[in-house]
Structure 1
Amino acid sequence: MDSRKYLKNEMNQTKEGDYMSTVIAQKWGNSLGIRIPKEAAERLDISQGSEIELYVTANEITLKPKKLRKKYTLEELLSQVSPENRHEEIDFGIEGRELI
């Protein structure tokens, strides 16, 4: 089946944007939880454990996947140091009873 035809069949267009499906809020401990359909999770590249930001405005809830910041290794950071972006040594003087 043509993927464009499949997406058109699976998604209803609304004036606000793409509508994936209707989900039902269910009790989860003292809170409510919803399930994210597989197609929506794949489209947004979220999986179990992904952090999602929840915004509440007026009578609307918006969910957005939290953008993860890359964690750099020390080697990656040091590889970016060059004579052009390195500052000169700064002398802060002696304060207190340091032995330096």
Structure 2
Amino acid sequence: MGARSHVARWGSSLAVRIPKPVAEQWGVREGSRIEMVPRGDRLVMRKEAHDLDEMLARMSPETLHGEVDTGPARGREVW
């Protein structure tokens, strides 16, 4: 799905609104991180991938949980 928007001023920066249907289809919402890559006369926007090292650095004893029992082995699992 494509949509048109326009460039507006936001403080000393410029901003482009993402129409709601496009944001929903793309899976972004307020606070989502995106990356913008200029490609000639185009601007490619993509959702920023999660950084595992950054996520692990935020881990703390409060965010850890214990093991979860998923029941007995089924099939040929080796435990």
Q: Provide TM-score, normalisation by structure 1.
A: 0.49
Cα distance in 2 between the residues matched to 1:43 and 1:68: 19
Structure with the larger RCO, 1 or 2 (CA within 8 Å, 6+ apart) = 2
Moved over 4 A (4+): 69-73
Deviation digits for residues 40-92 of structure 1 (CA, Å, limit 9, x no counterpart): 1100111100001000122210111113357574336x77xxxxxxxxxxxxx
Cα distance in 2 between the residues matched to 1:44 and 1:69: 20
Q: Please report the RMSD computed on the Cα atoms of aligned residues, expressed in angstroms.
A: 2.6
Query: What is the percent sequence identity of the aligned residues?
Result: 28
* Structure ID, larger Rg: 1
Tell me how far 1:30 sits from its aligned partner.
Answer: 1.3
Gaps of 5+ in 1: 1-10, 12-19, 80-100
The alignment of Structure 1 onto Structure 2 pairs a total of residues equal to 60
